[in-house]
Structure 1
Amino acid sequence: MRVRKMLSSAIVAGIVLSVVPTMSFAIGGASGPKVDYAIPGKIGEVVVNPYEVAPLTAVIRSGGYDLKDVSVRIVPKPGGQEIKYKVTDQNVLTHGGIPVFGLYADYQNTVEVEYTKSVNNAQGEHIKESYKIYTTGVYSDPNGLATTKASLFSSADVVKVDKEFSDRLYFVNNFLPKAGKGTRAVWNNPMGGALEWNYYPQNFIIDTKGEVRWFMNAQPIYDINSIYKAGVMMGFKQNVDGAMTWGYGQRYVKYDIMGKEIFNRQLPAGYNDFSHSLDVSPNGHYFMRVGSANQKRLDGKNVRTVRDVIIEVEPQSGKVLDEWKLYSILDPYRDINMKVLDQGAVCLNIDASKAGHTLSAEELAKQDASDKFGDVVGSGPGRNWAHVNSVDHDAEDNSIIISSRHQSAMIKIGRDKQVKWILGSPEGWNAKYKDKLLTPVDSKGNKIDCGPSGSKCPGYESDKGGFDWTWTQHTAFKIDSKSKGEILYLSAFDNGDSRGMEQPAMPSMKYSRAVIYKVDQKKMTVEQVWEFGKERGNKWFSPVTSITEYQTDKDSVFTYSATAGADFDLATGGFKSDPNPFIMEFKYGAKQPSVEIQLKDTTGYQAMPFSIEKAFSK
Structure 2
Amino acid sequence: MKKFISIVAASMIFSQAAFAIGGASGARIDWQTQGKIGALVLDAYGISPLSAVILNGGYELSDISVSIVPKKDGQELSYKVSEKMAKTYGGIPIFGLYPAYLNTVKVSYTKTANNKSEKVKDELYKISTSGISIKASGNLHQRGVPFESVKVLKVDDEFKNRLYLVNNAPGKMPGISSKSIWNNPAGGAMEWDENSNVFIIDTKGEIRWYLNHDKLMDWDNIYKRGIMMGFHQNDDGALTFGYGQRYAKYDVLGREIFNKRLPAAYIDFSHAMDNMQNGHYLLRVASANTLRADGKNVRTVRDVIVEVDNNGNVVDEWKLYEILDPYRSDIIKALDQGAVCLNVDAANAGKTLSDEELAKMDSSDKFGDIAGTGIGRNWAHVNSVDYDPSDDSIIISSRHQSAIVKIGRDKKIKWILGAHKGWSKEFQKYLLQPVDSKGKKIVCEDGYSKCPGYENEEGGFDFTWTQHTAWRIDSKSNKRYIYVSVFDNGDARGAEQPAFASMKYSRAVIYKIDQKNMKVEQIWEYGKQRGNEWYSPVTSLTEYHADTNSLVVYSATAGMSFDLSKGVAVGEPKPELDEFKWGAKTPSVQIQFSGAGLGYQAMPFDVNKAFNQ
CA contact (8 A) 1:110 1:132 kept: yes
2:181 maps to a residue whose letter is V
The one-letter amino acid paired with 2:608 is E
1:87 matched to 2:81 = yes
CA contact (8 A) 1:200 1:224 kept: no
Q: Which residue of 2 aligns with 1:249?
A: 244
Corresponding residue number in structure 2 for 1:548: 542
Of 197, 205, 213, which aligns to 2:208? 213
What residue number does 2:173 align with? Answer: 179
Which of 592, 597, 603 is the matching residue for 1:598? 592
Within the alignment, does 1:501 sit opposite 2:495 as a pair?
yes
Q: Distance between the aligned counterparts of 2:435 and 2:162, measured in 1?
A: 36
Aligned pairs for 1:326-365 (under 5 A) are: 326-365=320-359
**SS of 2:21's equivalent?**
coil
| Alpha-carbon distance in 2 for matches of 1:27, 1:341 | 69
For 1:36, the equivalent position in structure 2 comes to: 30
Aligned partner of residue 530 in structure 2, secondary structure: helix
Q: Which moved more, 1:73-82 or 1:59-68?
A: 59-68
What is the root-mean-square deviation in Å for CA atoms of aligned residues? 1.8
The match for 1:190 is 185
Contact 2:100 2:132 in 1 (8 A): yes
Contact 2:110 2:117 in 1 (8 A): no
Select which of 82, 98, 123 maps to 1:104.
98
2:287 aligns with one of 280, 287, 292: 292
Flag the 1:28–1:496 CA change in 2: closer, same or farther, 3 A: same
Could you tell me which runs of 5 or more consecutive residues in structure 1 were left unpaired when the two chains were aligned: 18-23
In the other structure, the counterpart of 1:475 is 469
Does structure 1 retain, via aligned residues, the 8 Å contact 2:421–2:446? no
**Dislocated runs of 4+, deviation >4 Å:** 10-14, 569-577
Amino acid at match of 2:253: M
Matched, 1:519 2:520: no
Equivalent residue, structure 2, for 1:222: 217
Contact 1:171 1:203 in 2 (8 A): yes
Provide Cα deviations, 1:130-187, integer angstroms capped at 9, x if missing partner.
0110111112212233343350111111111010101100000112112323021110
Residue of structure 2 in register with 1:203 after alignment: 198
> Residue 496 of structure 2 aligns to a residue in which SS?
coil
What is the aligned partner in structure 2 of residue 412 from structure 1? 406
- Code of the aligned partner of 2:367: F
Output the TM-score relative to the length of structure 2.
0.97
Structure 1 residue 500: Cα displacement: 0.5
For residue 450 of structure 1, the aligned residue among 422, 425, 444 is: 444
Report the alpha carbon displacement of residue 572 of structure 1 after superposing the two structures with TM: 7.3
Distance across 2 between alignment mates of 1:204 and 1:176: 13
Give the corresponding residue for 2:21.
Answer: 27
How much does 1:39 deviate?
A: 1.6
Question: Per-residue deviation at 1:341?
Answer: 0.2
Task: Give, in angstroms, the shift of residue 589 of structure 1.
Answer: 0.5
**Alignment check: 8 A CA contact 1:566 1:580 kept:** yes
What's the secondary structure of 2:145's corresponding residue? coil
Q: CA deviation at 1:555?
A: 0.4
Whether 2:69 is the aligned partner of 1:75: answer yes
The 5 Å alignment of 1:273-288 reads 273-288=268-283
Residues 1:282 and 1:574: Cα distance change in structure 2 (over 3 Å): farther
Corresponding residue number in structure 2 for 1:422: 416
SS of 2:493's equivalent in the other structure is coil
C-alpha contact (below 8 Å) 1:147/1:577 kept by paired residues:
no
TM-superposition CA deviations, 1:554-587 (whole Å, max 9, x none): 0001110001112546587554564110101100
Cα distance in 1, alignment partners of residues 204 and 426 from structure 2: 52
**Amino acid across the alignment from 1:126:** V
The structure 1 residue matched to 2:389, chosen from 386, 390, 395, is 395
TM-score, normalization by structure 1: 0.96
Q: SS of the residue aligned with 2:462?
A: coil
Quick one: distance in 2 between partners of 1:378 and 1:285? 32
> Does structure 2 retain, via aligned residues, the 8 Å contact 1:285–1:314?
yes
* Structure 2 Cα separation of the partners of residues 572 and 268 of structure 1: 44
Distance 2:347 2:27 in 1: 67
Question: Shift of residue 41 of structure 1?
Answer: 1.9
The equivalent position to 2:611 in structure 1, one of 585, 608, 616, is: 616
- State whether residues 462 and 511 of structure 1, in contact with CA within 8 Å, keep that contact through their aligned partners in structure 2: no
Report the counterpart of residue 304 of structure 2 in structure 1. 309
Q: CA deviation at 1:121?
A: 5.1
User: 1 CA distance for matches of 2:69 and 2:568?
Assistant: 42
> Is the Cα–Cα contact under 8 Å of residues 142 and 148 in structure 2 kept in the other structure?
no
| Residue number in structure 1 paired with 2:558 | 564
Q: Deviations over 1:565-617 (max 9, x none)?
A: 12546587554564110101100001110100011121210010001111001
Q: Which residue matches 2:113?
A: 119
Give CA-to-partner distance per residue, 1:390-419, whole Å, 9 cap, x none. 000001100000000000000000010000
Q: Is the 8 A contact 2:507 2:526 kept in 1?
A: yes
Partner AA of 2:225 in structure 1:
A
Residues of 2 paired with 1:146 and 1:443: CA distance?
Answer: 47
| Corresponding position: 1:65 with 2:59 | yes
- Aligned partner of residue 608 in structure 2, secondary structure: helix
Structure 1 residue 26, shift from structure 2 partner: 1.7
2: CA distance, partners of 1:511 / 1:567: 12
Q: Give the corresponding residue for 1:8.
A: 9
Q: Distance in 2 between matches of 1:574 and 1:438?
A: 39
SS at match of 1:91: helix
Partners in 1 of 2:427 and 2:568 — Cα distance? 40
CA contact (8 A) 2:402 2:466 kept: yes
State the Cα distance separating 1:381 from its structure 2 match. 1.0
Listed one character per residue, the Cα deviations across residues 444-468 of structure 1 (whole Å, up to 9, x for unaligned) are: 1111111142101112214353000
Deviations 1:3-32 (A, max 9, x none): 524433167569x99xxxxxx992112554
Task: Give the match's secondary structure for 1:436.
Answer: coil
- Tell me if 1:140 matches 2:134: yes
Give the CA deviation at 1:258: 0.5
Cα distance in 1, alignment partners of residues 316 and 72 from structure 2: 53
Q: CA–CA distance in 2 between the matches of 1:588 and 1:276?
A: 26
- 1:530 Cα offset (Å): 0.1
Give, in angstroms, the shift of residue 69 of structure 1: 1.2
Name the residue aligned to 1:533.
Answer: 527
Q: Count how many residue pairs are aligned between Structure 1 and Structure 2.
A: 610
Check the 8 A contact 1:337/1:408 in 2, yes or no: yes
Letter in 1 for 2:48: A
Matched, 1:268 2:269: no
